[in-house]
Amino acid sequence: MPSHFHTAMKNRRSFYAINNISPISDSRIQEIVENAVMHVPSPFNSQSTRIVILLGEHHQALWDIVKNVLKEKISPERFEQTEEKINTSFASGYGTILFFEDQAVVENLKEKFPTYQDKFTEWAEQTSGMHQWAIWTMLEDEGFGVSLQHYNPLIDSEVAKKWNINPKWKLVAQMPFGTPVACPGDKEFMPIRERVFVYK
């Protein structure tokens, strides 16, 4: 029998139709994020990942920032379509998680371990990816629909200003979540034998 972890991993998808209802308490959302931050691995146990959870008016404020920034950068025709997607797929949700990597930690590692200095930026991105995947999977396991977005670096300065973010924190991704109101379509897979090779 597959374990619960295997099932949760298999069920994780990108949901783009979500509402602002939560199947769990805010404290449970916080518990999920804190559990990931405590236990997801990082290079040299650097613990460089930083998380900001935006709920309620803070969640809405983030997507207002995204729309305001994009409105200044794209044509009115493109913005109309983009605004509709943001309003129905991201801002319509219950909350958003912001993923950062603390560059002060990364810089310290480069100084402390010069042999690997050209790798620490890459490794920080890898640990951020593991945090994203873990939190994404756990939120969906609780009944949320989730997706991962990347409006950085366009929104970085406004986000930092709004939530007084440490200037050494680099924004990596934004994760809107809410209760799904529609399911994604079937997922296509490449043949597994083109992706996994076993020698024994």
Per-domain residue ranges of the chain? 4-183
Q: Are 20 and 194 in contact (CB under 8 A)?
A: no
Residue whose structure tokens are 């396991």: 141
Q: For the chain, what percentages of helix, strand and coil (3-state, to nearest 5) are there? A: 50, 15, 35
Main-chain phi, psi angles of 172, to 5 degrees: -110, -40
Residue 56 zone, left/alpha/beta (φ > 0; ψ -120 to 50; rest) = left
**Which residue from 113, 134, 132 is spatially nearest to 45, judged by alpha carbons?**
113
82-98 pLDDT, tens digit each = 999 999 999 999 999 99
Gap between the Cα atoms of 80 and 135, Å rounded:
31
In this prediction, the residues of the chain whose per-residue pLDDT falls under 50 are 1
Which amino acid type is present at position 165? Answer: I
Q: Are 77 and 167 in contact (CB under 8 A)?
A: no
Q: What is the CATH number of domain 4-183?
A: 3.40.109.10
Q: Are 23 and 146 in contact (CB under 8 A)?
A: no
pLDDT for the residue numbered 2: 52
pLDDT for the residue numbered 5: 87
Which residues make Cβ contacts (< 8 Å) with residue 90, sequence separation at least 6?
A: 63, 66, 96, 147, 149, 174, 176
Q: Are 90 and 134 in contact (CB under 8 A)?
A: no
Beta bridge partners of 18: 180
Whole-model pTM? 0.95
Which amino acid type is present at position 33? Answer: V
Q: Are 11 and 146 in contact (CB under 8 A)?
A: no
